Chain A
Amino acid sequence: MAMVLHGTARVRAERIESSGPDPDFVEPGGVARAEGFSTYLESGPFLLGYPEAYARGKAALFPHEGGPAILAVDVPDDIVALAVSVYFPLSQGIIQFDEGAGLEELRAAWTTLWKEVRLVGIP
């Protein structure tokens, strides 16, 4: 199993926690689908910035969504392996679940996975 982290706003973290990542999710005022689910290995490295920074950034963009939060999910190794590619080698710490690259399998297993929402402080 691998613990992965997704930084976002609290309302979204709680929605994903209960229903799973939604590739058809569209942000308020937006037009584009989410398409995928971006996470980091909890152990890092955090080469694209820390999940806390994503959470704070998203909370700042959407101030009515409950503040910054991180969704932590424990994902089986065989599903994580589906997200590994030439673009996202495991060594870089980015676990990008895309359609056709682990997202469907992650959604299918979602209700069985351990997960929690961790609130993030604002410095």
Chain B
Amino acid sequence: MKTTSQLFRFLRNALEDPKRGVVGAVEDLLEVSRERPLRLDWEGDHCQVCMADGDSEETIDVVFPKSVFRAILARMATLCNERNPNSVSPYGGQGELVARVNPSTVVKTTIVNTSADQRLALTTETNSTVAM
């Protein structure tokens, strides 16, 4: 089991210096969500990443373009729709998806992707929920 700081470091690298584009960044987010519930919120000019650890939560700010975050949200919606067609619109909704790196884990996904508001929450059956 990785520590919260290890997971945050992995996420920061995945979001600030991706090696496989926005699609790879999404796979990295899903990998972390298998270990801890995640919530990402766009706040002004950066992304606030919140990770639950037991009863507590820790948050970091990650800087990357807003268009990238909206693309991440759109990719998540697409993966939800691959599992259950039309379950999530490009502009938001709730659905489930499976990560390509670990198809046995179902990730519950809540997406808001409008011009005014961009948010994402990821949990698994074994994770506790992080409130949106």
Q: Are B90 and A57 in contact (CB under 8 A)?
A: yes
Interface: B74 (CB within 8 A): yes
B105 close to chain A: CB less than 8 A: no
The answer, yes or no, to whether A114 is at the interface (CB within 8 Å) is no
Q: State which of A13-21, A69-77, A88-96, A105-113 sits at the interface with chain B.
A: A88-96
A25-51 vs B, CB cutoff 8 Å, 1 = contact: the mask equals: 011001110111010000000011100
Interface residues on A, range: 20 to 34
Assuming the A-B contacts A47-B78, A86-B21, are A96 and B71 also in contact, with contact meaning beta carbons closer than 8 angstroms in the complex? yes
Contacts A49-B74, A57-B89, A87-B71; A34 near B17 (Cβ below 8 A) = no
Whole-angstrom CA separation of A32 from B19 in the bound complex: 30
Is B115 touching A87 in the complex (CB atoms < 8 A)? no
Question: Is B90's CB under 8 angstroms from A88's CB?
Answer: no
CB distance from B46 to the nearest CB of A (A): 14
Say which residue of B64, B77, B114 sits within 8 Å of A87 (CB atoms). Answer: B64
- Contacting residues, chain A, for B18 (C-beta < 8 A): 86-87
Complex Cα gap A61–B89 (Å) = 11
- A49-B115 contact given A54-B90, A92-B22, CB 8 Å threshold: no
Given contacts A48-B90, A92-B23, 4 further A-B contacts (CB under 8 A): A35-B66, A36-B67, A87-B68, A96-B67
Other-chain contact of A32, B17, B67, B90, B115 (Cβ < 8 Å): B115
Chain B hits for A119, CB < 8 A: none
Q: Are A27 and B90 in contact (CB under 8 A)?
A: no
